[in-house]
């Protein structure tokens, strides 16, 4: 099946640094979603974006739905140890459709 192009694949950062990751697609989506997955658990929704150009924040997280509807980015400001994990972007065409996921960004925070 299709996968979205997500980068970077992994990030090694110091606590307190800002983080940025992005996702691109060859096809258009009407919804972009960002999830965090901890080992052995299901993904947890962080931010949902429903309109092209939309910029949405959730605490230290900010995400944008690209104007072309083929990309999205997620920023995390002032990273803390509990931000460690794997972040996935996901796109959806229709409200009742399954999700197409990116390959994930593994965030590692060095003390």
The strand order across the sheet containing 19-24 reads: 5-7, 19-24, 71-76, 61-65, 55-58
Q: Which is nearer to other proteins, 5 or 57 (CB)?
A: 5
Q: Which is nearer to other proteins, 5 or 67 (CB)?
A: 5
Task: Reduce the DSSP state of residue 83 to 3 states and report it.
Answer: helix
Q: Which stretch binds other proteins (CB under 8 A): 11-19, 44-52, 66-74, 77-85?
A: 44-52
Quickly tell me which residue has 């796109």 as its tokens: 91
Is 19:110 a contact under the CB 8 Å cutoff? no
Q: Which stretch binds other proteins (CB under 8 A): 11-19, 37-45, 51-59, 69-77?
A: 37-45
The only residue of 26, 40, 110, 111 in contact with other proteins, by rule CB under 8 A: 40
CA–CA gap between residue 111 and residue 95 (Å, rounded) = 41
Strand partners, 35: 45, 88
Q: Which is nearer to other proteins, 28 or 67 (CB)?
A: 28
Site for other proteins in 47-106 (CB under 8 A): 48, 88, 95-104
Residue ranges binding other proteins (CB under 8 A): 1, 3, 35, 40-45, 48, 88, 95-104
């Amino acid at each position: 099946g299709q996968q979205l192009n997500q980068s970077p694949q992994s990030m090694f950062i110091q606590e307190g640094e800002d983080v940025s990751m992005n996702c691109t697609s060859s096809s258009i989506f009407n919804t972009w979603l960002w999830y965090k997955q901890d080992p052995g658990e299901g993904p947890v929704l962080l931010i949902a974006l429903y309109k092209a150009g939309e910029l949405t924040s959730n605490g230290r997280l900010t995400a944008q739905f690209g104007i072309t509807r083929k990309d999205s980015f997620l920023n995390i400001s002032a990273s803390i140890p509990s931000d460690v994990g794997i972040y996935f972007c996901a796109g959806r065409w229709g409200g009742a459709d399954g999700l197409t996921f990116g390959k994930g960004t593994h965030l590692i925070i060095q003390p």
